[in-house]
Amino acid sequence: MMHVSVEKDVRMGIQMMKYIVNHYENFTLVIPPFMITLMWSINSYIIEINVLLILSSMTDIISVIMKYVSLAAISMIPTFYFNSITHHKLLKCAKMEIKITNFRADKPLQNAPWHVKVMRFVNKIFRTYYISVHYYFTPFLSIMLMYPFMISYQNVHIQNVHT
């Protein structure tokens, strides 16, 4: 369940990185927005991995549910914070529609500075990992993490029954 709720944040961060790289001329400073979206994606990955590790170590169903609710609330802190802001000049930007005008076929990075090309490389690494590993295999990773704990729990339970 955490994968489903955090996955959209990872996808959005990667899409925003791609937009920033392809439309770098629309930004006064291109590195800060790229770094913010990169940190957003990394933060989402870290939250999901932590949740997998913490929940996979639990043996009691009630503990898993309580920890999941707590961790889900922690993952929503940025959303709570953004929704609590009522009067700020950045809120005007929240409702703006971003128009995509540069597409890869138009070669938007042909005359781009070297740092934009490095940002594109970083974006491609994250996108490749997201598409090939994260999106499909993270749910299976949770099962693989749970298997050793389930086996050890069953062994302990069997030993307690026999004694």
Which pLDDT score is estimated for 155?
A: 58
Q: What gap in Å lies between CA 23 and CA 87, rounded to an integer?
A: 29
Q: What gap in Å lies between CA 115 and CA 149, rounded to an integer?
A: 45
Tell me the whole-structure pTM to 2 decimals: 0.66
Q: What is the mean pLDDT of each run of 10 residues along the chain (163 residues)?
A: 71 86 84 89 81 73 76 73 70 68 70 85 87 74 65 56 54
44: exposed, middle or buried (Cβ count in 10 Å: 0-12, 13-18, 19+): buried
Identify whether the C-beta of residue 140 lies closer than 8 Å to the C-beta of residue 56.
no
Which pLDDT score is estimated for 146?
A: 66
Q: What gap in Å lies between CA 126 and CA 133, rounded to an integer?
A: 10
